[in-house]
Structure 1
Amino acid sequence: MNFFWVLSGKRLKRILMVAVALILAFGIYVAEQRDIQVFMPLNQGPAAVYSVDTDQKKLALTFDISWGEERAGPILDVLEQKGIKNATFFLSSPWAETHPDIVKRIVDMGYEVGSHGHRHENYSTYDEEKIRTQIRKAHQILTELTDQEPNLIRFPNGDFDKRVLKVADDMGYTTIQWDTDSLDWMNPGKDKIINRVTSKAHSGDIILMHASDSSKQLHEALPVIIDDLTEKGYEFVTVSELIAGSEVDLNPVD
């Protein structure tokens, strides 16, 4: 009987050792799989660009326009007075179609034009064919007005999902978001807009601003923002220039 228990004890010990080894092996396997997913995401696909990872003191001023005719002129005046040669404007195509004179001024000043879509609605609520139709309509109108085919798009309200990104990518577009949001459309006061942008701006940054009539204070804040960033040594470039040949900060959507 004692011999039996000795054998059973030895067998039990071996079983426990094997079980521990299996648990450790499984743990290592899970950890390795997690590491693989961190560095090589399993759900790779089109992603939106928020900023660029660079040591160079370059950033992009971007302006969305979807309605109104009073604020774009003063903002363009500021850019002209400050000698800003590079900026990117994301234009809603219905707005562009009804304000060809302002579009012409933007183009004549040498600024980059991206698409802000057609209808100003959340494209994530659309089916894929409607997403495609909205992008195509905006593309046709902006191409006719600017004599250039846009290849950057910022969706209305910054809204998208993986379907929207995929359709845009299939149509030759890169989706652009932002890293610093001026919140100028909330009209919190000139000083708050200035402080928000100048405190958050960084190398490789894409800064979101608006030249729609909802942004009533940006034209007052913009000269100070430009002066502050210039004094800090920043160079203003277009979004295309910023992302060309650089490692972009992407945010894929699951």
Structure 2
Amino acid sequence: MAVLFAASGEFKAFAAEKPSAIYKVDTNQKVVALTFDISWGEKVPEPVLDLLQREKVDKATFFLSGPWTQRHPKIAKRIHDMGYEIGNHGHLHKDFSNYPDGWIRQQVTLSEKAIYQVTGVKTRLIRTPNGDFNPRVIKCLNSMGYTVIQWNTDSLDWKNPGAQAITQRVLTRVVPGDIILMHASDSSKQIVQALPQIISGLRAKGYQFVTVSELLAQAKVQSKVE
């Protein structure tokens, strides 16, 4: 049976009843999902999109915050028009676990509406602000029809340790079925320099790029086959 890493760090079946966040898919196929969070700025997102286009990476997943989408509709539309998957990154960038369910629902709904108004996409994947959650938060988000997406490989690009450090971290940690965390916010000042090296390095290792949804769908298919 294909399995996923759950919030507890233990293996769980895809259809597990306990609330869980998705970190990676257990697969022998060399596929990975490049994911980018965006919640601030306009200087980095477009160069990231330019690079993905130049490098012919046609599969990636972007998690957008509601306020950013409203402030930068042109870039959000470009992400959609380029065929990339769009997920929800909440409204205010605050830890969900510190707030009641009603507040969480309000925040997610605000972001969902903003993304839909700009791109026409009704989001069903969510990466919580700061990656913060607990079982109650996941249960609340699941009840709204959302799948909570975390990451197995954190590029730490937001710490700006240098393009080479970002690249090496990704290439030494990546595994088949990985979800890789990066940022296309202006706070990630070195991702534009690191990204071409990450892409070429992953390809040299034999990896292909898929969206998060395609990664999850593959797990379902494998589960049925096995």
TM-score (structure 1 length as normaliser): 0.80
1:192 paired to 2:165: yes
Q: Secondary structure of 1:121's match?
A: coil
Q: 1:39 to 1:66 in 2, by over 3 A?
A: closer
CA distance in 2, matches of 1:212, 1:188: 16
Query: How many corresponding residue pairs?
Result: 209
1:159 paired to 2:132: yes
Which segments of structure 1 move beyond 2 Å, counting only runs of 4 or more?
A: none
Q: Secondary structure of 2:133's match?
A: coil
How far apart are residue 44 of structure 1 and its match? 4.6
Q: 1:199 to 1:128 in 2, by over 3 A?
A: same
Q: If each structure's helix is expressed as a fraction of its own residues, which one has the higher value?
A: 1
Q: Which runs of 5+ in 1 are unaligned?
A: 1-37, 248-254
Equivalent residues in 2 for 1:96-111, closer than 5 Å: 96-111=69-84
How far apart are residue 39 of structure 1 and its match? 8.6
1:163-207 alpha-carbon deviations (Å, 9 max, x no partner)? 110111001000000000000011001110010001111100000
Match of 1:217 among 190, 193, 201: 190
Q: Which residue of 2 aligns with 1:169?
A: 142
Q: Which residue of 1 aligns with 2:119?
A: 146
Q: Percent identity?
A: 54
Equivalent residues in 2 for 1:4-43, closer than 5 Å: none
Match of 2:219 among 232, 243, 246: 246
CA distance in 2, matches of 1:39, 1:209: 25
The RMSD of aligned alpha carbons is 1.7
How far apart are residue 45 of structure 1 and its match? 2.0
Q: 1:167 to 1:228 in 2, by over 3 A?
A: same
Equivalent residues in 2 for 1:114-129, closer than 5 Å: 114-129=87-102
How far apart are residue 237 of structure 1 and its match? 0.3
How far apart are residue 245 of structure 1 and its match? 3.9
Question: Which is greater in Rg?
Answer: 1
Q: Which residue of 1 aligns with 2:199?
A: 226
Q: Secondary structure of 2:23's match?
A: strand
Q: Secondary structure of 1:52's match?
A: coil
TM-score (structure 2 length as normaliser): 0.89
